[in-house]
Amino acid sequence: MKILAESTLTSKEQLTVPKVVRQLLDIHAGDSLVWSLDEQGQLVVSGGRPNSLADIRAAVAAAGRVPTPKGVTVEDMKRGVAAAMRRKHGRG
């Protein structure tokens, strides 16, 4: 893992986000950060700003058409989503 920058927790328990990290995450004053742990217990910090509709449209357009598997029912999809949510949230 490459270290990008370092911050020190102040006596008021505040951190300054280094400029290189702010630029990397494209965050600005008033934006949120999301702090989470991955499956290996590593801390992951990401920009918490929600995507705009324009961002989502651009991402979908860039992905192109995704072929739909034949023979997949709505019930199959619901079961798959439920299983993925259980795995993601540690409930199965």
pLDDT in tens, 2-59: 888 999 999 999 999 999 988 888 888 888 888 888 888 888 888 876 677 887 788 7
pTM of the model: 0.47
pLDDT tens figures, 66-87: 777 778 888 988 999 999 888 8
Tokens representing residue 78 in the block: 């619901």
Element (H, E) at 45: strand 43-47
Tokens representing residue 90 in the block: 């540690």
Res 19: pLDDT: 93
Q: Which residues contact 86 (CB under 8 A, 6 or more apart)?
A: 92
Residue type, 31: D
User: Domains (ranges, CATH) in the chain?
Assistant: 1-66 (2.10.260.10)
